[in-house]
């Protein structure tokens, strides 16, 4: 609830635009070097061009309007119009989305695209309506990897005793606790402060986040575990959506999908170069046997399969569409 006062104040400060053009506020929680922001700029350009300026997008990066969980709450209240958010915290509002956070559901970008850009992805997006959210498109955060400041993590047992930040997501928390880590679920801004102070040993994130936030200045070791594929969502407040014309909805939807492809391409094309830059900056990078991690987590994966119906749907679809 502490975020509500902040949002109400920001809402009043931002004011209501005058004139015929309508301004929509788009927020995200990462910095201006990130694909989220670059994708948002592309989305802004496309929307403003297509609407001939009738729709204006104003972007608030770097947690200016709150962390990801707070942004979801702001969307629900109509205090923010649009947001780009990783699916990690979405499971707290739409539990079905936790299926996407199960380790090793996806092992390649080809699998990701077959599922999330198809009928299953459309179905998943429609589920957001019950949380007063509208999903325009799946964007991307990327495959998550592990960094730490204690020792190389090469096998599951190396995680035992590591003080590790995760997102506020019960699947992530349960997985790393099962692996023996001491888990601290924190918003990312708090996690960065804890890493700087040495309160935490490590964290896990995609390469683009590790690079954009210069984690090589805080963390010695990077293990390419690829343990979770982290989708992102371009979300619209249901309140905002209901106030739009059919044409405006069509513009946001179509341009959100085009910007999604742009944002994903950025992440995938830049990943190897960013990895090389991390090495040059002094990070020790380790390949790991991901199958060992997947096998170690088998008991949890079997339990999650019973809890999250989407998991079985995804696995069946991938089996049929190899």
Query: What percentage of the chain carries pLDDT values higher than 70?
Result: 94
Q: How far apart are CA 130 and CA 112, in angstroms?
A: 24
pLDDT grade for 260, boundaries at 50, 70 and 90: very high
CA distance 260 to 30: 17
Give the tens place of pLDDT for each residue, 77-111: 999 999 999 999 999 999 999 999 999 999 999 99
From CA 197, how far away is CA 151, in angstroms rounded? 18
Cα separation, 110 vs 89, in Å, equals 24
Cα angle 292-100-266, degrees, rounded to a multiple of 5 = 90
Which residues, in sequence order, are bridge partners of residue 56? 23
Mean pLDDT over residues 128-144, rounded? 97
Measured distance CA(47)–CA(259) in Å, rounded? 10
Residue 19: φ, ψ to 5°? 90, -175
Average pLDDT taken over every residue of the chain:
93
Strand partners, 82: 26, 236
Supply the pLDDT for residue 12.
44
Other beta carbons within 10 angstroms of residue 12's beta carbon come to 9
Q: pLDDT (tens digit, 9 = 90+) per residue, 263-318?
A: 999 999 999 999 999 999 999 999 999 999 999 999 999 999 999 999 999 999 99
Residues in the chain: 322
* Residues linked to residue 84 through DSSP beta bridges, in sequence order: 234
By DSSP bridging, strand 133-148 and strand 202-206 are antiparallel
d(CA 163, CA 152): 14
CA dist., res. 156 & res. 171, Å (int): 17
132 φψ region: left (φ > 0), alpha (ψ -120 to 50), beta (else): left
pTM over 0.85: yes
The DSSP annotation for 304-319 comes to HHHH-HHHHHHHHHHH
pLDDT value, residue 189: 87
DSSP 8-class letter at 155: S
CA dist 250 and 244 (Å) reads 10
Domains and CATH numbers, the chain: 2-320 (3.40.190.170)
The percent of residues in the chain predicted with pLDDT above 90, rounded, is 91
């Amino acid at each position: 609830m502490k975020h509500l006062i902040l949002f109400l104040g920001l809402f009043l400060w931002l004011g209501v635009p005058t004139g015929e053009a309508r301004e929509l506020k788009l927020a995200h929680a990462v910095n201006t070097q990130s694909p989220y922001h670059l994708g948002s700029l592309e989305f802004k350009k496309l929307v403003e061009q297509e609407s001939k300026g009738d729709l204006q997008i104003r972007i608030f990066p770097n947690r200016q309007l709150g962390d990801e969980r707070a942004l979801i709450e702001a969307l629900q209240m109509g205090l923010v119009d649009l947001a780009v958010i990783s699916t990690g915290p979405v499971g707290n509002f739409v539990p079905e989305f936790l299926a996407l956070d199960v380790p090793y559901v996806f092992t390649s970008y080809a699998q990701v695209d077959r599922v999330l850009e198809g009928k299953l992805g459309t179905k998943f997006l429609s589920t957001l309506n019950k949380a007063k959210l509208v999903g325009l498109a799946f964007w991307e955060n990327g495959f998550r990897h592990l960094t730490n400041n204690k020792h190389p993590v090469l096998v599951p047992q190396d995680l035992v005793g590591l003080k590790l930040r995760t997102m506020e997501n019960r699947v992530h928390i349960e997985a790393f606790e099962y692996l023996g880590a001491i888990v601290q679920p924190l918003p990312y801004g708090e996690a960065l402060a804890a890493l700087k102070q040495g309160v935490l040993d490590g964290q896990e994130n995609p390469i683009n986040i590790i690079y954009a936030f210069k984690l090589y200045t805080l963390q010695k070791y990077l293990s390419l575990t690829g343990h979770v594929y982290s989708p992102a969502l371009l979300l619209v407040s249901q309140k905002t959506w209901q106030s739009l014309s059919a044409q405006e909805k069509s513009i946001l939807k179509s341009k959100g999908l085009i910007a999604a492809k742009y944002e994903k391409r950025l992440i995938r094309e830049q990943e190897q170069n960013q990895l090389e830059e991390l090495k040059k900056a002094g990070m020790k990078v380790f390949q790991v046997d991901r199958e060992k991690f997947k096998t170690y987590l088998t008991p949890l994966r079997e339990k999650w399969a019973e809890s999250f119906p989407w998991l079985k749907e995804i696995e069946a679809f991938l089996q049929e569409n190899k």
